[in-house]
C-alpha cells in the first residue's frame, strides 16, 4: 500500500480520479478486443502450421525474428494506441504472434495426443484468466506495488529463455515454463486490477498487456504438457 490513505467511492477509482462508468467502459472494451485478438492469433498459427513458413526459424535466427518483430510491433502499438490505427496494429501483432507460436504447435501436433494437449493448455489458460478476473473484482488492496517485482520476474524469464535457446536443456525449459506461468498469471491480476481501479484508461494498452500474459501462460502450459505428457506413436 502507498503511505497515503486511498479511498474508493462511487465516482472515482482507487486514487486515480476515474469514474466507475469510465472504468467499466475500458474493461468492457478490453474484453471485447482481447476476444477479437484471438482470431488473428488462430489464423496465424493455422497458416504457420499448414505452410511450415516458420519451420526454418530455429535457434538464434528464430530468436532474432521473434524479438525484433515483437518489440517492433509493441513500439508501433504504443505510438498508435490513441488513434484509429491502434486496433489494426494490435491485431497485426497478434497475427504475428500466432505465426511464431505455430512452430511449437506443429511440434505438439506431432504427438499422438497433440490435439488434446493443445485443448488442455487452452482450457488451463482460460481457467487462470477467469480466476484472475474474479480476484481483480473482489480484492480491495492496491496491487500497484507488484509491478516492479513482476517486471524483474519477466526479465529473468526472458534472459533464461534466451540462454536456453542455445543450451537446449529440457529441465531448463520446464523450470522457465513453471516460472512463466506463475509470473504471467500474476501479471493478469495486476493488469486487470489496474483497469478496475482506474489506473489504465486506454483499452488498447490494457488489451496488449493481457494478451501477452495469456500468450505466455498458454505457451508455457503447452511446453510443459508436451514435455511431460506427449505420447509418441
Write down the pLDDT at residue 204: 94
Domain-located, residue 129:
yes
Q: Is 217 part of any domain?
A: yes
For 119, phi then psi, to 5°, come to -65, -35
77: pLDDT strictly greater than 50:
yes
Percent of the chain at pLDDT exceeding 70: 91
What pLDDT shows up at residue 78? 92
Are the CB atoms for 44 and 94 separated by under 8 Å? yes
How confident is the model over 3-47, as pLDDT tens digits?
Answer: 433 333 434 455 566 678 888 899 999 999 999 999 999 999 999
6 inside domain: no
Number of domains present in the structure of the chain: 1
Mean pLDDT of 98-116: 91
Mean pLDDT of the chain: 87
Q: What is the Cα–Cα distance from 105 to 89, expressed in whole angstroms?
A: 24
Exposed (0-12), middle (13-18) or buried (19+): which is 9, by Cβ within 10 Å?
A: exposed
In a domain, residue 124? The reply is yes
pLDDT of amino acid 152? 93
The confidence score (pLDDT) of residue 67 equals 85
Is 135 among the domain residues? yes
152-198, pLDDT tens digit by residue?
999 999 899 888 888 878 888 899 999 999 999 999 999 999 998 88
184 belongs to a structural domain: yes
Range of the domain at 183: 20-229
Kindly state whether residue 221 falls inside one of the protein's structural domains. yes
User: Is position 9 within any domain?
Assistant: no
Amino acid at each position: 500500500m502507498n503511505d497515503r490513505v486511498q479511498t474508493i467511492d462511487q465516482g472515482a477509482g482507487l486514487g486515480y480520479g476515474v469514474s466507475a462508468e469510465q472504468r467499466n467502459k475500458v474493461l468492457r472494451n478490453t474484453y471485447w478486443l482481447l476476444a477479437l485478438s484471438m482470431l488473428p492469433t488462430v489464423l496465424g498459427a493455422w497458416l504457420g502450421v499448414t505452410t511450415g513458413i516458420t519451420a526454418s526459424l530455429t535457434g538464434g535466427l528464430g530468436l532474432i525474428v521473434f524479438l525484433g518483430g515483437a518489440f517492433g510491433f509493441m513500439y508501433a502499438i504504443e505510438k498508435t494506441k490513441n488513434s484509429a490505427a491502434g486496433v489494426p496494429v494490435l491485431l497485426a501483432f497478434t497475427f504475428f504472434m500466432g505465426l511464431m507460436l505455430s512452430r511449437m504447435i506443429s511440434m505438439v501436433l506431432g504427438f499422438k495426443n497433440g490435439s488434446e494437449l493443445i485443448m488442455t493448455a487452452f482450457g488451463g489458460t482460460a481457467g487462470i484468466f477467469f480466476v484472475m478476473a474474479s480476484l481483480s473484482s473482489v480484492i480491495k488492496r492496491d496491487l500497484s506495488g507488484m509491478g516492479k517485482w513482476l517486471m524483474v520476474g519477466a526479465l529473468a524469464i526472458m534472459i533464461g529463455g534466451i540462454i536456453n535457446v542455445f543450451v537446449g536443456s529440457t529441465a531448463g525449459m520446464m523450470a522457465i515454463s513453471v516460472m512463466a506461468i506463475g509470473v504471467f498469471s500474476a501479471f493478469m491480476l495486476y493488469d486487470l486490477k489496474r483497469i478496475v481501479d482506474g489506473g489504465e484508461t486506454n483499452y488498447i494498452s490494457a488489451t496488449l498487456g493481457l494478451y501477452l500474459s495469456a500468450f505466455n501462460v498458454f505457451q508455457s502450459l503447452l511446453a510443459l504438457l508436451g514435455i511431460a505428457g506427449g505420447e509418441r506413436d
